[in-house]
Structure 1
Amino acid sequence: MSTLTLPTGALAPGMVVAERYEIQDAIGVGGTGIVYRARDRTLDDTLALKMLRPELVADDPRAREELKQELRLTRRVSHRNIVRTHDFGVSRGVPYLTMEYVEGTSLAAVLVHRGSLPATVVLALARQLMRALEAAHDQGVMHGDLKPANLLLASDGLLKVTDFGVASLIRRPASSVRPRAVDEASGPPRLAGAVIGTPEYMAPELLLGGEPDVAADLYSAGMVLYECLTGATPFQGDTPRGFLAQKLDTPRETPIPALKGEPDSLPAIVALMISPQPSDRPISASAVAALLARLG
């Protein structure tokens, strides 16, 4: 098991957050914060506690109340393929979320060690991922930052999506750049002033400042499945702008190398999901699930 590199100021084992959550160890580090395994001293239960980066959350009472309202919506989503969000609070000026703790590993770690996965495995993961998205979208909850690091795999093969709604909860700093449609023709597209998410997996319209929606989540899910099939994402860039240029220049059907034993239709489904234009993608997670069901 690899050792995490923690930033200065990370919580040490034994420290207590909000006089309730005792830190046991750090289990993840990302762009939005640090995730710890913690013990709820009130309920004597193990949970995941995510300390958000303070600069990403608006520091005023009204914004915090709006964040709580969005979290209440996220908590309504209950599904076996989704990590349940419990609570939101602020401890010593730092906002945090508590979530269900999952014993397992991330899809990102699996891909690092194994590279591409067998098509049968990818198909099973795709079906579970679509069930999770369908349950969330039915409640009006978008993910906004789907990537392998946010997909957890239990030892029995159960996939659980974590960080649902976190990208939507985080403040986007004010920008003079107006969100634009991907196909807007009045001059070259401009990158949004603030990008919350992972450009490698983000839909072009999100990079242009659009809000997370069903089409954007399906694009990100398609990118994850592409990486599972091939061992890499189709785009390489050093900056969000670099990713944007490549994504907008992508032909409607991105070619996926044929893999031995791969179901004939799986690459075509993934290609539809990562179409540059939202209107060219399937209309819903349930629509993708129906396509996957035809593969047997």
Structure 2
Amino acid sequence: MLEIGSIVGGKYKVLSVIGQGGMSTVYLAMNERANKPWAIKEVRKDAVANYQTVRQSLITETDLLKELSHPFLPSIVDVIDEDGGFLIVMDYIEGNTLEKALKHMGAQPQEYVIEWGIQLCEVLEYLHTRKTPIIYRDLKPGNIMLRPNGTITLIDFGIAREYKEAKAGDTSYLGTRGYAAPEQFGGMGQTDARTDIFCLGATLYHLVTGHNPSEPPYEFYPIRYWNQQLSPGLEYIISKCVQSNPDDRYNSCAEVMYDLQNYRELEKGYKKEAKISVLIFAAIIVLSLFTATLSVNFQIKSRKLANAYYQHYIAEAKGTADESEAANLYAKAIAEKPTDVDGYFELIDNLLLADDILSKEEDEELRKILISPVGKTTVEGALSTNKQAYSEVAYRLGIAYFYCYDDVGNKQLAAKWFQIVNDNGGLSKDKQERAFRLGKICQYYSSIGTEFKSGDKVISYREYWDDLVAISDGNIAEVDNPTTALVIYREVAAQIYNNAAKFIEAGVTYDEMSKEMDTLLAHIDEDILTRYDLTNSTKELVSKTQRNFTAAKQALDQVGK
């Protein structure tokens, strides 16, 4: 074990033990240079019999987490592979595991469990819908941290794996018995998203009943066997999740999330009505297959009907002043045509960015829409089948998160969307280049001018300035739209206002910054004001941007030539 007070990796001082399991110990440590706490997870060679297997799983964990960005996931800042063991330095997550909550308080309130379940569905769906899907495989209360603000963080990716479509089965069978799905122990093909759904059901079962599935009686009794006050709807959801046959479970976490959000509707009458609806639908399909002509006519009418509904929902959304109702209508429109970019653009322009700010509440609404079920996948899953459309929507969302989230922008949340653009391509040369530069800034933004979290490297303000200039180059209003151009220009003004002295210290001259501001102000006059019939909100954004440049020029003059 690491000694309390020792220095690890030349920079992390070990303060205390904060967690211990069968294979690893987790310490609280402080990077004394950065004066910031971190968690260090240690696995020693002498602590496990199959160390090389465990070490490989840890390498997998770090490799996976480095590529992920989600509010419910931790980030990796350093990896130390020593002769005596393997160390992972990651975000220190304040709070306790749900395992501790069970140990100290027993079964958790149903409403809490449902809310945690919804959050778990969101993060699992995020993992499952990556370009190469990631199967977590070890969901249990001990791997879920509950933060003081009530949100969860999924930890310990040691046995997660990327889903390989051509593989017949997993190469190793790992998991926690009781929570792990039958296919995790061989003989049922490789694990997939439905494996995590089983683990989710087992976890919710333990949380809401207080009965550990890895202890006697080793069975998933209906949850109301233990507590008659629990919801029949929640009982149905958990029961469907923990079916032994993967085909009998939910197909996606988006489906589970939808039912958790509507668990009170899952009563006997509701399920009976749904079953009847399915039978009626099946009968219609059978009848439509009698002749090829009827089938073709049915498909044409279905497309026309879907398009009619789509147009109706868009028009209704534009006409309502109720933001919640508008969001619901846009969601319905997008569900009708999930690969059509217009629905997303209408949502972004007319609702999410109507005030040029993407609020936290609007971000949550967007997430709900993207993970809503469509057929056997989600809205985002369906959109991703059209690479061109996926890139276009991702570009717009990346811009929104980068510049407008919570009125200051969030580079971490923007990173995912620019990565999608870079992976899929298909946009104009200017947009692709802008997405690449913005994605690059997302990667190092929090460390510009300072050491990285690990204390190893410095990002220059010179490099940052060059990227800013490249991003704002050209006629953005023509390539994108006036609003995108203005928010990019505002970012340049804001960075000069806040960091003029640091830019100069890094070698960016007074004249360079002054000339760039004059160039961008000219773009506003020539590319926007003289060529577009602007709305009142865009006119106000122009005025704000011009005021930003006035303030930036004053700040630059104070620094001096």
Instruction: Report the TM range for the smaller structure's normalisation.
Output: 0.7 to 0.9
Aligned-pair CA distance for 1:260: 5.3
Range moving further from structure 2, 85-94 or 131-140: 85-94
DSSP 3-state at the match of 2:73: coil
- Matched pairs, number: 250
Question: What is the alpha-carbon distance in structure 2 between the residues aligned to residue 75 and residue 67 of structure 1?
Answer: 12
Greater helix share, 1 or 2?
Answer: 2
Q: CA deviation at 1:289?
A: 0.7
Report matched runs for 1:100-249 at 5 Å.
100-139=91-130, 140-163=133-156, 165-168=157-160, 196-208=174-186, 212-234=191-213, 236=215
What is the TM-score when the length of structure 1 is the normalising length?
A: 0.75
Q: Output one character per residue of 1:144-198: Cα deviation in whole Å (capped at 9) or x when no partner.
A: 21111111111121111111x31147xxxxxxxx969xxxxxxxxxxx9x75332
> What CA distance in whole angstroms lies between the structure 2 residues aligned with 1:69 and 1:201?
21
Distance 2:124 2:255 in 1: 11
Question: How far apart are residue 92 of structure 1 and its match?
Answer: 3.7
1:137 to partner: Cα distance: 1.8
More strand by share: 1
The CA distance in 1 between the partners of 2:14 and 2:193, in whole Å, is 35
* Bigger mean CA offset, 101-110 vs 85-94: 85-94
| SS at 1:58 equivalent | helix
Matched AA of 2:104: H
Corresponding residue SS for 1:96: strand
Q: 1-side partners of 2:58 and 2:262: how far apart?
A: 40
2:246 is aligned to 278
Greater radius of gyration (CA): 2
Q: How does 1:27-42 map to 2 (within 5 A)?
A: 27-42=18-33
Which residue matches 1:255?
222
TM-superposed CA distance for 1:69, in Å, is 6.5
Q: Write the deviation string for residues 56-98 of structure 1: whole angstroms up to 9, x where unpaired.
A: 4428xxx86x965763333222111222233322134311112
**TM-score where L is the length of structure 2:** 0.41
Dislocated runs of 4+, deviation >4 Å: 66-70, 209-212
Structure 1 stretch displaced more, 37-46 or 27-36: 37-46
Mean alpha-carbon deviation: is it higher for 42-51 or for 254-263? 254-263
Shift of 1:235: 5.0
Kept after mapping to 2: 8 A contact 1:51/1:95: yes
Q: Deviations over 1:235-273 (max 9, x none)?
A: 536xxxxx9xx67xx7xxx52225355333111101111
Residue 260 of structure 2 is aligned to residue 292 of structure 1? yes
**What residue in structure 1 maps to residue 267 of structure 2?**
none
Any gaps of 5 or more consecutive residues in structure 2? 162-167, 265-561
Cα contact 1:27–1:37 (8 A) shared by 2: yes
Counterpart in the other structure of 1:185: none
Is the alpha carbon distance of 1:58 and 1:283 closer, same or farther for their aligned partners in structure 2, counting shifts above 3 Å?
Answer: same
Q: Deviations over 1:195-253 (max 9, x none)?
A: 5332121111112376543122111111110011111134536xxxxx9xx67xx7xxx
3-state DSSP of counterpart to 2:178: coil
User: Bigger relative contact order, structure 1 or 2, given CA contacts below 8 A and separation 6+?
Assistant: 1
The 3 A distance-change label for structure 1 pair 16 and 115 is same
Matched with 2:35 is 44
Deviates more, 1:225-234 or 1:204-213: 204-213
Counterparts of 1:96 and 1:208, CA distance in 2: 30
Q: Is the 8 A contact 2:60 2:160 kept in 1?
A: no
Q: Aligned in 2, Cα 1:167/1:263: closer, same or farther, shift over 3 Å?
A: same
Aligned-residue identity in percent? 28
Aligned mates of 1:212, 1:90 — CA distance in 2 = 29
Structure-2 residue corresponding to 1:72: 63
In structure 2, the residue matched to 1:265 is 233
Cα 1:234–1:293 change in 2 (3 A) is: same
Deviations along 1:100-141, whole A, 9 cap, x unmatched? 111111100100111111111111111111111111222222
SS at match of 2:107: coil
Equivalent position to 1:58, from 33, 52, 60: 52
Unaligned runs of 5+ in 1: 1-9, 170-177, 181-191, 238-242
Which range is displaced more, 118-127 or 76-85?
76-85
